[in-house]
Amino acid sequence: MDSADFLARGRFIDSDAPNVVAFARAATVGAGNDTGRVLRLFAAVRDGIRYDPYVDMGDPANFRASSVLASGRGFCIGKAALLAACARAVGVPARVGYADVRNHLTSARMYAYIKSDIFVWHSYADLFLDGGWVKATPAFNSALCHRLDLMPLEFDGRTDSLFQPFDRSGRRHMEYLTDRGTFADVPFDTLMAEFRVHYPMLTGGMGGDFQAEAVAAQG
């Protein structure tokens, strides 16, 4: 594997940004190897950055690792970019992958707003560990998962960490529909073209508290 593209700074996976480098180094102090470093980074991004799909999806800052870190919140694409950037900052090759998913437990206002429970181009990080690529999804922070009666997604560095198909009560949660492939950097122009078709109303952001609304929707 030529790892150059997956270790280099990207426009959105800006792994050399000072705040990304500092965050990655602080999170991995004392970790013994690449896997140990990535496991710490996964937990730090998953729980340290609040999941918020109500951000402005037309603003490039919400897709850029350093900006998501600075704001302390982001949706799946920004959080995956941040995890990939942090991995590169500590010398682990990383890229970002995408898939269309159906979320059976989205907030009522989000569903009413976009008229669908299908979310195109959901993102995860893809990390090169022990000679192979493994997927890690840091989107939903643990506090949100517990409030939604979901087990927080874990990552062991060996097997893919993808959204749970069911919640703890057995209700359908996330269903993967279409694999969009992996990329060395966030394909921003492609995403904007897709979002203009599927979610034109989300440019500018929705405002409000997604986490409170998602919990209320579960009754």
pLDDT digits (tens, 9 = 90+) for 151-205: 788 899 999 988 665 556 666 567 788 999 999 999 999 999 998 888 776 666 6
Ordered by start, the domain boundaries in the chain are: 4-217
Q: Two tokens at 200?
A: 């034109």
Chain length of the chain? 219
Q: Which CATH class is domain 4-217?
A: alpha beta
Residue 48 has pLDDT above 80, yes or no: yes
Residue 67 has pLDDT above 90, yes or no: yes
Q: Tell me, letter by letter, the H, E, C secondary structure of 140-209.
A: CCHHHHHHCCCCCCCCCCCCCECCCCECCCCCECEEEEEEEEEECCCCHHHHHHHHHHHCHHHCCCCCCC
Query: What does the pLDDT read at residue 33?
Result: 95
pTM assigned to the model = 0.89
Give mean pLDDT, residues 81-104: 93
